[in-house]
A and B are shown apart, each in its own frame.
Chain A
Amino acid sequence: MGFLEKAKKSQWYGVGLLLVITVLCWAVFKVLCPDTFGAPDQLLTYLQTGIIYAVGGCGLYFIVVMGLWDFSIGSVLVLACLLSIGFAQMFGYPGLIIAPIVAGALMGVANGAAYIKLRIPSLIVTVGLSLIYESFSVFASDWAGTRLPDAYKMFGSYPWNLIVALAAFGLCAFILKYTKLGTYVNAIGANELTAKNMGVNVDKYKFFAFVLCSMFVGIMAILYIGYGTAQTPMTGMLSQSLNFKPLMGTFFALAFRKYGHPVVSVVIGEFIIAMMFAGFVALGMPVTVNNIITGATLLIIVCITTKRIKGAVVK
């Protein structure tokens, strides 16, 4: 067996490949704009941006790996941020931390329960519920305001943002590796009927996956509000735009799924995306062009790494 074939069999091949892509991406932008991109302190900034979305991406992985969707995460994020602002003013840091996590988990309970009980597609359930959460965000902003007081911005900067994110990544990796739920979400995604035949309570684990997803978005809210320090309520499906950055990290994890280490893939994936955004800004490109190129890059990476079978139905 040749070196490359041996390497491909390694569990770390996927991570290695992602790191190579990271370095290539960095090198390209560094050559194009050597003075305004890619210095060590700037790389740390990209990483700090990327890890915020990576936390949400980790939560979303539980859902997407089962072949389901959660399009409510943007609205969950907005509401969790606003509740975090409100409870921080009442209870200080404990309120800032606990409120979004609990609120996220409760919205996850609502998502999961609605999906299981109504028996309609997860995409429709979560889009429908996101409209409700968006409305709640208006009430929450009326109550709490939209700005995080200066005294509670600790989680917006290094090292506390990194500590919270690492704790979230550790928790996600732990659940995936050391709990039945971690195995079962993969099993349900691979073949729900077979998983059922093996005694897996599919509904129960789908429900828990929804709870976990929104809970991770709650953790993301701690970092998000700390970084941005203000959050306005969003209505009329505006929150949908917040779904996509975490989702991109999840796509990376899915594309590299067979190599294991989905959490590492989410984090590196989000870092690549953050770096690309910064690179295009350094090149002076408008945001629209950034989005086109970033979207195209994501598609290319997923196409390269995913084995597509001719004739297979892809949904």
Chain B
Amino acid sequence: MGNKLLLHAEKIDKRFGPTHAVKEVSLDFYEGEIHALIGENGSGKSTFTNMLTGILPIGSGTFTLSGEQVAPKNQVDANHHGIAIVVQETGTLSGLTVAENMFLGDEDQFIKNGLKDTRAMNKKAQELLDAYGLSYIKATSAVDMYNFEDRKLVEIVRSTYFDPKILVVDETTTALSQSGRDKLFEVMRDVRAKGHCVIFISHDMAEVMDMSDRISILRDGDFITTVDVSEVDEDKLKTLMVGREMGDHYYRTDYPDYANEPAGDVAVCMENVSVPGELDEVSLTLHRGEILGIGGLSECGMHEVGKAIFGASYDRTGTVKLGDGTEINDINTAIDHSIAYASKDRDHESLLINDTIEDNITLPSMRDMGTVLSDKKLHDFAQKYAEIMSTKMVGVNQYVSALSGGNKQKVVLARWLGKQSDILVLDSPTRGIDIKVKAAIYALMEDMRKQGKAILIISEEIMELIGMCDRILVMKDGKVNGELLRSPELCEQDLIAKMV
């Protein structure tokens, strides 16, 4: 790279409690380049760029932009340093006009004698929208009037109109149609042409190869390498991205002869299930004594499969049936028929975070404990299953919020273990969990499988799926894109080829 160094990141580090999200990452970004940052979910890409753009405080380390050390306090402060970001989620705020969204936190340029010159702000916003070819978006209209893509385009204008030296585009393309993507790519090329730098985060390898000059890979918070785009192909990139070394002893070592062994009875069956924007005619069958894996990129719809089986999907069409023909259309029926569900969003959807371990474990089992609940019975029940799961705790009266991620997950599993559930739907069961607890959870799953329980794992960790599942369904764009059987020859590339 013959260009001048623009941004230097020196030993950038960030922890969230026990999770070490970014581990002393040092990286250089040059003038006039589009620099892709890739890695699996949880590899630390967004955490790294969120620190650069003031969304998160820097744990330790320094960013030096054009020779000057920067540590933005928030996004607007980052903008003032010449750093901007287009975020993955919706970054515009409802209830505000388009113009107010574009200049939120930066209204001072329109303040005259202490008052906001709304007319000038609207005028400037409209001029910018026009300049970007977005005249149909009116600066004075409430942003709520526009669809997700238009709101994203407003964000792109907001993030780039002031000619930032560094523009971070974080997983934005998935939210855009082709024309929206073209607009974004045009803006990115324009930033590069001006001698500035784009940090581009995307899971779409073709897009990354097409748009980038150099690519840096992060894995589990570690910096792996930076490569020139001319030196690699998509396959090489995928290998760099997911090629972690995992100890095989955490996983199952058996490889059943599926061709000759009969499958167990059908535990649950999904037929042509669709959920608008999430699933498109998905069918699958989960058998007793089987671990079925669902894999894919985070937004492929796989997380909705778990909700659909648990009766927690809204606007679902198609059927979810148990082996005996019982239809599952709501959560209560699911629980009554021995289905357990652990959500990916553990703190918000699985746990009563501000409640005790006892309440969390006993909650679904209370319906089987009679009308009058005995304190002792509840306490003993919670104690028993918390201990089976080796939950590290002061006592079952301890609040769940005080537990580590791994122990929180143990509480979730203890709950369903206590409920004696026969069908377990586990979404990202080892997310944010250390190796020791992971091994314990894998061992528990294997025990349950041997007991004839049916287990469905939804996971973004490829090795976990390969290591634990009898079958893996790979999803892409809300559909099942392929099925892979357990085999010693099965490797990451087989799955990645079907998910990307």
Q: Which of A153-193 contact B (CB under 8 A)?
A: 177-180, 182-183, 186-187, 189-191
Tell me whether A217 is interfacial, beta carbon within 8 Å: no
Give CA–CA (A178, B112) in the complex, Å.
Answer: 10
Given contacts A180-B111, A187-B96, is CB(A260)–CB(B142) below 8 Å?
Answer: yes
Chain A neighbourhood of B117, CB < 8 A: 178
Would you give the shortest CB distance from A24 to chain B, in whole angstroms?
Answer: 25
Closest to B141 in A: A11
On whether the beta carbons of B142 and A183 are closer than 8 Å, the reply is: no
Give CA–CA (A257, B104) in the complex, Å.
Answer: 18
Chain A neighbourhood of B104, CB < 8 A: 183, 187, 195, 198, 200
On whether the beta carbons of B116 and A310 are closer than 8 Å, the reply is: no
Chain A neighbourhood of B106, CB < 8 A: 199
Q: Total A-B pairs in contact (CB under 8 Å)?
A: 75
Closest to B80 in A: A199
Would you give the shortest CB distance from A146 to chain B, in whole angstroms?
Answer: 40
On whether the beta carbons of A310 and B315 are closer than 8 Å, the reply is: yes
On whether the beta carbons of B75 and A258 are closer than 8 Å, the reply is: no
On whether the beta carbons of B95 and A186 are closer than 8 Å, the reply is: yes
Give CA–CA (A180, B116) in the complex, Å.
Answer: 7
**Listed residue (A183, A189, A194, A196) with the most chain B CB atoms within 10 angstroms of its CB:** A183
Q: Which of B138-154 contact A (CB under 8 A)?
A: 140-142, 144-145
Interface of B is mostly: loop
Given contacts A187-B96, A190-B93, A199-B73, is CB(A9)–CB(B111) below 8 Å?
Answer: no
- Interface range on chain A: under 10, 10 to 19, 20 to 34, or 35 or more? 20 to 34
On whether the beta carbons of A198 and B74 are closer than 8 Å, the reply is: yes
On whether the beta carbons of B105 and A198 are closer than 8 Å, the reply is: yes
Chain B neighbourhood of A11, CB < 8 A: 140-142
Chain A neighbourhood of B116, CB < 8 A: 177-180, 182-183
Q: Which of A190, A191, A197, A311 contacts B55 (CB 8 A)?
A: A197
Tell me whether B115 is interfacial, beta carbon within 8 Å: yes
On whether the beta carbons of B314 and A311 are closer than 8 Å, the reply is: yes
Give CA–CA (A60, B153) in the complex, Å.
Answer: 34
Given contacts A11-B140, A258-B142, is CB(A200)–CB(B95) below 8 Å?
Answer: no
Chain B neighbourhood of A198, CB < 8 A: 74-76, 104-105
Give CA–CA (A156, B77) in the complex, Å.
Answer: 50
Tell me whether B451 is interfacial, beta carbon within 8 Å: no
Q: Which of A177, A179, A197 contacts B54 (CB 8 A)?
A: A197
Given contacts A180-B107, A183-B104, is CB(A189)–CB(B145) below 8 Å?
Answer: no
Q: Which of B25-44 contact A (CB under 8 A)?
A: none
On whether the beta carbons of B93 and A195 are closer than 8 Å, the reply is: yes
Q: Which residues of A contact B (CB under 8 A)?
A: 9, 11, 65, 177-180, 182-183, 186-187, 189-191, 194-200, 257-260, 310-311
Task: Please list 21 pairs of residues, one from A and one from B, whose beta carbons are closer than 8 Å in the complex, sorted by A's number.
Answer: A65-B95, A178-B116, A178-B118, A182-B116, A183-B96, A183-B100, A187-B96, A187-B104, A190-B94, A191-B93, A194-B91, A196-B74, A197-B54, A197-B74, A197-B75, A198-B74, A198-B76, A199-B73, A199-B106, A258-B94, A258-B144
Q: Which residues of B contact A (CB under 8 A)?
A: 54-55, 73-77, 91, 93-97, 100, 104-107, 111, 115-118, 140-142, 144-145, 314-315
Closest CB pairs A-B (n = 5): A198-B105, A190-B93, A199-B76, A199-B105, A186-B95
Q: Can you name 13 extra interface pairs (CB under 8 A) apart from A187-B96, A197-B74?
A: A177-B118, A179-B115, A180-B107, A187-B93, A190-B94, A190-B96, A194-B91, A196-B74, A197-B55, A198-B105, A199-B75, A199-B105, A310-B314
